[in-house]
Amino acid sequence: MNNISAIELGSEKIACTIASVEDTPEKKVRILGFASIPSRGIKRAQIVDIQVVTKNLEECLTQAERMAGTRINNAVLVTSGPSIASQTSHGIVAVTYQNQDISEEDVGRAIESAKAISLASTREIIHVIPQQFIVDGQAGIKNPIGMTGVRLEVDTHIISASAINLNNIRKACSILGVNVDGIIFAGLASAQAVVTDTEKELGCVLVDIGAGTSDISVYVDGSLVHTSVIPLGSKNVTSDIAAGLRVSLPSAEKIKLSLSTADRKATRNSGKKTEDALGDELSLNSLHLPERMSSVSRQVLVNGILKPRLEEIAEFINNELTNNQLKDLIPAGVIITGGGALTPYMDEVLGKVLGLPVRIGYPPELDGIADELKEPSYSSLVGALLYSSTQEETPRSMAIPNIANVFKNIEIKDSFQKMVDFFKSFIPGAK
């Protein structure tokens, strides 16, 4: 049984979790420790004050380690932000000539060749994800290992991020004695947790709505074909409520959550969400706001403040899909997750603007101390654990061999003498 850890540095929260993975084919994950604290020093998933972030991360790690009874030495990091970019690339290699059976090493070399792209020095590749393999001209192959061929090609989806931000994240972890095993894009991690294989095969789009940004991941025929990040999230909705009602941000957040709770209660009692069932006045007495507001007009709050911002978010997503000719390739619809997925009317507005079915994605229930991790706001954290637990099964990228290890079993004296004899063979009379 191995232990794995995941850390998420978000605009709204810093969260980390420790889990154990069974040494079985199922790779069952069990949560040992978990902690989440409000985030400071991070804006739109980018570090703006590394000292504050390091201090907050230390507090979060301490709480999780105390719960699990073990120390976090290695972890995978979940990242997002407007610096995330993606592109496609094609790789070609010749299959190892000995038996012409495609091996794991051949797959690794093909994927490595696809990484040979022109990239700015300020960017770093974090994922190279195969979309399909092509063996001797036959396309649409998902796993070519064991097949016979002489030419192996691969189409890949490459995700890159700001090297500066990634280095700052690594530095904050390094200061606390945590080695970074890998970086995972939040949209990819969330998809691992909430999107089914059937939805990926049919074609779908996952929208992970965070506080400051929203991650978009599009799947077609079971493969990831597009990723992007839009600079809008649930915090924009909260800011609009604060400005529209002239209250503080904490009060605006409470009002937003109160609206969501009231809507769920009314819908549960009446069986449907209607204006008559909900009523126009939303009581705020139970919130004990410092602004001493007792109630607010639902009409003003929903139609005047909330929905216009949600429609803007939906239009961003719609434009992203339309501009990349993906709108007609995702009949399975939209899966929304992340903390912003529970924003009132979010699913309703997205469905109306996009013209697609929408559902809220909840992460799967894991064993152990995992009650808090059932919420959509922790989908990327759960997905990072699931993604990490299965990495042994994916083809490894080709690594440059360690020259010292290659020659470690060869006697230097014998090698030197063989080299001398080799060169002597070309010199007349040297024997």
Of 169-178, 290-299, 408-417, minimum mean pLDDT range = 408-417
* 56 C-beta neighbours (distance < 10 Å), count: 21
Res. 58 pLDDT band, cuts 50 70 90: very high
Q: Are 76 and 381 in contact (CB under 8 A)?
A: no
Q: Answer positive or negative: Cα dihedral of 265, 268, 273, 276.
A: negative
Per-residue pLDDT reduced to its tens digit, 22-57: 877 778 899 999 999 999 999 888 899 999 999 999
pLDDT of residue 96: 80
Q: Give percent above pLDDT 70 in the chain.
A: 86
The tens digit of pLDDT for each residue in 90-135 reads: 999 999 876 778 999 999 999 999 998 888 889 999 999 999 999 9
Measured between alpha carbons, how far is 55 from 280 in angstroms, rounded to an integer? 45
d(CA 353, CA 348): 9
Chain mean pLDDT for the chain: 85
Report the pLDDT value the prediction gives residue 397, as an integer from 0 to 100: 34
CA distance 367 to 385: 13
Q: Is the pLDDT of residue 8 over 60?
A: yes
Contact 102, 135 (CB under 8 A): yes
Contact yes or no for 158/131 (Cβ under 8 A): no
CA distance 40 to 51: 10
